[in-house]
């Protein structure tokens, strides 16, 4: 029995060579629309699908392969006598190869096209043929990705046929693709934060050397339907990125882009260890570096403006894993590239794009809105009023504390986060850690602001801050003991502001 292949592809990469190979092996080629025209123009003997279905394409090509003469030829089980008798009676010939790739809905849904225009990129016939062929993989070789042409040709050339193992794997790839494709369409149409079924559509960008530790395997996936800074960055220099690198890049870039001002954020082990704003890039970096000149070593630095040569020279004075910015001058890039292992990342997508975030638990997944609000209302709750600089530092503190693991305390002075207390199991420990770190060799922290991600459950944090010379506090408020904290601040001659917004991060 003569073998047949049905070929209908949007992406025509490599299809001519593959079709020519099949043709040389005596396989008849059936094709549709643009693919038929392309193959015909390149000298191949091709059968138009309408000759098989005895029905012309209709509805602007929406209906062309949805026909028993096509799906009967794909789905018939070859060693099932009843199936074979049925298709023979109906004059249907078997189809042994199905080569289909889909309309680029993943790409088009991210464009500025209208809703109706995007709808037209929802492929119906393609997924239907792929799923039919994948179900019949024992008898039908199905290919949905151009990268698989070579493997199939190699097996046919060497063995005369495609192995069961390869056909099974190709069928699995079909359902992997169509499930992601359907998920993307579902999310596009539903536009619900929490639909009944959680369907996400991500494509592997590359394998990673390992996960958080060498014994853990890892890979990096990006959304097929949404843009984002960690999807669209460009690596300009340095060795390959790791699992931890990408996590830390994400945090550093998010913190730096909390600010409209020129800002720099240094991150170490998923925690901001230095954040500063300034009137120029060089000063912002220097201030962020000086927040914690020890922890920044081997860390990630993100700056939300173009990096110039002067700043690049300063960055090169210490060992850094990554420098990330929206742009680099030619001279700055040349300077940074002098360190061959330094990963230099260009990231033009400034503001975070994600609307929801996920946390995997054993057997389940938690989904929540991303934390996009900093302050509800700045309410001064003490007798003393904050100065203009204290208010600025309070806002900086809350923008940073939002990205610090709870319990989280950040000490800020003159536009720089000089002390970070993170991940402690009680707030007084986080307070002590941040204060001690910020103090360094100073006699006191006079003029500094202390920011907290959640309310003070007791007055002890206020009393501790007073010992270090802190005169301004900012916190969400909301404790049944708020009055005690306010009274303590008044006793110490401090100003305290409530924001109304808690920033737990676990």
Tens-place pLDDT, residues 398-440: 999 999 999 999 999 999 999 999 999 999 999 999 999 999 8
Whether 66 has a pLDDT exceeding 80, the answer reads no
Q: Average pLDDT, stretch 258-273?
A: 96
Whether 59 has a pLDDT exceeding 80, the answer reads no
Name which residue leads in pLDDT, 303 or 82: 303
Cα distances (angstroms) measured from residue 148 to each of 27, 66, 244, 313, 397:
18, 25, 32, 47, 52
Q: Where are the alpha helices (DSSP H) in 136-267?
A: 149-159, 164-190, 229-232, 243-256
Tell me the CA end-to-end span of the chain in Å, nearest whole number.
Answer: 63
Name which residue leads in pLDDT, 52 or 235: 235
Work out the pLDDT band at 64, boundaries 50, 70, 90: low
Strand partners, 268: 271
Work out the pLDDT band at 34, boundaries 50, 70, 90: confident
Token match 């960008």: residue?
205
Minimum mean pLDDT among 58-67, 300-309, 397-406: which range? 58-67
Distance separating alpha carbons of residues 431 and 483, to the nearest angstrom: 19
Give me the catalytic one of 3, 205, 269, 339. 269
Whether 279 has a pLDDT exceeding 90, the answer reads yes
Strand partners, 360: 365
Give me the catalytic one of 135, 337, 384, 505. 135
**Residue 85, pLDDT score:** 81
Segment (H or E) for 119: helix 115-119
Beta-carbon count within 10 A of 169 CB: 13
Task: Please answer whether residues 458 and 480 qualify as being in contact, where contact means their C-beta atoms are separated by less than 8 angstroms.
Answer: no
By three-state DSSP, how is residue 381 classified? coil
Mean pLDDT, the chain, rounded, equals 92
Residues 331-380: tens digit of each pLDDT: 999 999 999 999 999 998 888 888 889 998 999 999 999 999 999 899 99
Work out the pLDDT band at 258, boundaries 50, 70, 90: very high
Buried b (16+ CB within 10 A) or exposed e, 438-455: bbeeeeebeebbbbbbbb
Half-sphere exposure (Cβ direction) of 346: Cα atoms closer than 13 Å = 12
Work out the pLDDT band at 111, boundaries 50, 70, 90: confident
Please say if 467 is a catalytic residue. no
User: What's the predicted TM-score (pTM) here?
Assistant: 0.86
Task: Please answer whether residues 230 and 351 qualify as being in contact, where contact means their C-beta atoms are separated by less than 8 angstroms.
Answer: no
Nearest to 245 by CA among 348, 152, 320, 145: 320
Name which residue leads in pLDDT, 80 or 202: 202
Please say if 286 is a catalytic residue. no
- DSSP secondary structure string for all residues of 330-362: HHHHHHHTTSTT-EEEE----S---SEEEEEET
Q: Average pLDDT, stretch 37-58?
A: 80
**216-224: long-range contacts at Cβ-Cβ below 8 A with a sequence spacing of 24 or more?**
216/243, 218/243, 220/246, 224/106, 224/180, 224/184
Task: Please answer whether residues 435 and 419 qualify as being in contact, where contact means their C-beta atoms are separated by less than 8 angstroms.
Answer: yes
Backbone Cα Rg of the chain: 30
Beta-carbon count within 10 A of 354 CB: 16
Strand 28-31 versus strand 46-48 pairing type? parallel
Strand partners, 379: 498
Beta-carbon count within 10 A of 259 CB: 20
Whether 387 has a pLDDT exceeding 60, the answer reads yes
Work out the pLDDT band at 60, boundaries 50, 70, 90: low
Whether 88 has a pLDDT exceeding 90, the answer reads no
**Residue 76, pLDDT score:** 84
Work out the pLDDT band at 63, boundaries 50, 70, 90: low
Work out the pLDDT band at 65, boundaries 50, 70, 90: low
**Residue 248, pLDDT score:** 96
Task: Please answer whether residues 142 and 98 qualify as being in contact, where contact means their C-beta atoms are separated by less than 8 angstroms.
Answer: yes
Strand partners, 9: 101
Strand partners, 220: 206
């Amino acid at each position: 029995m003569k073998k047949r292949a049905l070929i209908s592809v949007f992406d025509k990469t490599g299809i001519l060579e593959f079709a020519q190979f099949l043709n040389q092996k005596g396989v008849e080629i059936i094709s549709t629309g643009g693919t038929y025209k392309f193959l015909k123009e390149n000298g191949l003997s091709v059968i138009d699908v309408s000759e098989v279905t005895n029905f012309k394409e209709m509805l602007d090509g929406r209906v062309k392969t949805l026909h028993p003469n096509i799906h009967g030829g794909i789905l018939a089980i070859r060693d099932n006598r009843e199936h074979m008798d049925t298709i023979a009676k109906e004059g249907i010939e078997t189809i042994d190869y199905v080569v289909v790739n889909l309309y680029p809905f993943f790409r088009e849904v991210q464009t500025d096209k209208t809703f109706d225009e995007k709808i037209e990129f929802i492929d119906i016939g393609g997924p239907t043929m792929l799923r039919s062929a994948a179900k019949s993989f024992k008898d039908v070789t199905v290919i949905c990705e151009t990268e698989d042409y070579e493997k199939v040709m190699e097996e046919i050339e060497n063995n005369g046929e495609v192995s069961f193992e390869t056909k099974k794997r190709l069928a699995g790839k079909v359902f992997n693709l169509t499930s992601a494709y359907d998920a993307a369409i579902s999310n596009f149409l539903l536009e619900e934060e929490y639909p009944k079924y959680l369907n996400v559509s991500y494509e592997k960008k590359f394998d990673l050397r390992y996960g958080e530790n060498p014994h853990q395997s890892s890979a990096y996936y990006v959304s097929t339907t949404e843009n984002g800074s960690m999807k669209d960055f460009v690596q300009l220099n340095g060795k390959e990125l790791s699992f931890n690198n990408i996590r830390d890049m994400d945090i550093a870039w998010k913190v730096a882009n909390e600010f409209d001002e020129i800002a720099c954020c240094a991150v170490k082990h998923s925690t901001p260890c230095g954040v500063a704003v300034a009137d120029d890039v060089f000063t912002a970096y220097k201030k962020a570096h000086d927040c914690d000149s020890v922890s920044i070593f081997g860390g990630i630095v993100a700056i939300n403006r173009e990096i110039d040569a002067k700043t690049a020279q300063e960055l090169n004075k210490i060992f850094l894993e990554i420098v990330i910015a929206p742009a680099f001058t030619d001279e700055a890039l040349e300077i940074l590239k002098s360190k061959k292992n330094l990963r230099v990342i260009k990231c033009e997508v400034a503001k975070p794009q994600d609307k929801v975030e996920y946390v995997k638990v054993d057997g389940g997944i938690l989904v929540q809105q991303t934390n996009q609000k900093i302050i509800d209302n700045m309410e001064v709750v003490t007798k003393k009023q904050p100065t203009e600089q204290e208010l600025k530092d309070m806002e900086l503190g809350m923008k940073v504390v939002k990205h610090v693991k709870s319990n989280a305390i950040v000490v800020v002075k003159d536009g720089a986060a000089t002390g970070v207390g993170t991940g402690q199991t009680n707030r007084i420990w986080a307070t002590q850690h941040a204060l001690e770190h910020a103090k360094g060799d100073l006699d006191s922290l006079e003029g500094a602001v202390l920011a907290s991600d959640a309310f003070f459950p007791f007055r002890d944090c206020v009393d501790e801050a007073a010992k270090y010379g802190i005169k301004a506090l900012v916190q969400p408020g909301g404790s049944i003991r708020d009055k005690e904290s306010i009274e303590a601040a008044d006793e110490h001659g401090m100003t305290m502001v409530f924001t109304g917004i808690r920033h737990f991060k676990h």
